[in-house]
Structure 1
């Protein structure tokens, strides 16, 4: 069966996941994480793709990206990130071959309803994986930037900015929002949307996207379930 074409929408956030080939480790030490984040910061600026959230796990990455009018820029960003990490790893280990799965997964996200929830989902990944107790304990997600505990180069999304009139007010409200955890229905929606290339949003968002692209993206029947650590 031919795979579904990836849907990328201009000026919409997209939840993106890329995994290591055969789920192999892609970040073996601090320098690996640091290099990837430096590349993400540089390339996203050059390609004019907004970065709203990220979390680098041992064998995969979660990104919340916002392409501008040129939607192909998001694909170029992911390709360049993967290529740089692969060259670095191959040179370091004296090997050749691929580091990542050939095709990353992505899902357009409904801004007003799920954007903030998607950022929370991403930044709580290491907590769900029981790597840390609290999101602020993990060095390789965007949570510390958002909380003012690290240099912030994130693009602050409109949903986050709407949390308050000042930085401290936003941080306090977001921290409380994250402490609530991800409801099971949101967890299921986001995992399934990524797994099947669907939309992260409600029926109104499905209607809105249909008007933009001229075809309807309905929820498809479940296939292979996503892994628990996704």
Structure 2
């Protein structure tokens, strides 16, 4: 059976997860993460895309972005994956070592309802390093967008430009108020149910939002995005 094409809706935020292959750690070193940030900045110029949040961990990348055209999402993420694989394959050749897969197949993505899920997804992305045990609660992982969102300065020398969603701007009337409110959201972390919903949406490659939002996307995409009712169908 042919694989279903990726759901991409220009103008809406997309949560993205790019995971390394088993045993691979393509972003374990500071120089690798710094180089990856530079590639992200270049890819933003090549593919019309607004980047809202990111986290670079040893074995994966978390992104929240809004593509402006259908191919923007895949073009942006696949460019990053290919450049990483190319550099590491060249390094393996130079060391006369066996080449291994870098990434675990296709990246995962989910379309989000902006008003309800853009902000929780930002928090989930910025909190990825704490969940992975790389930093303690209250500490800042330097290879993510948390610093920019909390008013702590740029994340790094090659940090890509961020464009904040409207849900973030609604947190307060001043930069300080927005940064303080967002910091409190991070410290509180997401409710377990919301985390499960985000993870499930990524696994399904579907959309996350209320019934009206999913119905609108169903009409737009021609896909059934709402889960079918439980139980046996009623007899006519």
TM-score normalised according to structure 2 size:
0.86
Q: Comparing 150-159 with 174-183, which one deviates more in the overlay?
A: 150-159
Matches within 5 A, 1:31-70: 31-68=31-68, 70=69
- Aligned partners of 2:11 and 2:66 also within 8 Å: yes
Residue 81 of structure 1: CA displacement? 0.6
Q: Structure 1 residues 52 and 135 mapped into 2: Cα distance closer, same or farther (>3 Å)?
A: farther
Q: Is the 8 A contact 2:16 2:107 kept in 1?
A: yes
Question: In the superposition, relative to structure 1, how do residues 58 and 6 fare at CA in structure 2: closer, same or farther (>3 Å)?
Answer: same
Which of 108, 122, 125 aligns to 1:119? It is 122
Query: Which digits, 9 at most, give the CA deviation of each residue in 1:110-148, with x for residues without a partner?
Result: 100010000101111111222211364211111012122
Moved more, 119-128 or 92-101: 92-101
- Trace 1:1-230 onto structure 2 (pairs within 5 A): 2-22=2-22, 24-68=24-68, 70-94=69-93, 96=99, 98-134=101-137, 136-151=139-154, 153-219=161-227
Contact 2:28–2:59 at 8 Å: present in 1 too? Answer: no
User: Cα offset for 1:149?
Assistant: 2.0
Separation of aligned partners in 2, 1:23 and 1:48: 33
Maintained 8 Å contact 2:208/2:214:
no
Identify the range of structure 1 (71-80 vs 22-31) with the bigger mean alpha-carbon deviation.
Answer: 22-31
Structure 1 unmatched runs, 5+? 222-230
Q: TM-score, normalised by structure 1?
A: 0.88
Question: RMSD over aligned Cα, in angstroms?
Answer: 1.9
Native 8 Å contact 1:196 1:220 kept in 2? no
Distance (Å, rounded) in 2 between the aligned partners of 1:92 and 1:42: 22
Q: How many matched pairs?
A: 220
Could you report, residue by residue, the CA deviation over 1:47-77 in whole angstroms, capped at 9, with x for unpaired residues? 1111111111111111111001x21021111
More displaced stretch, 41-50 vs 31-40 = 41-50
Do the aligned residues in 2 keep the contact of 1:198 with 1:219 (CA within 8 Å)?
Answer: no
Distance 2:228 2:135 in 1: 34
CA contact 2:140–2:146 (8 Å) conserved in 1: no
Structure 2 unaligned regions, length at least 5: 230-236
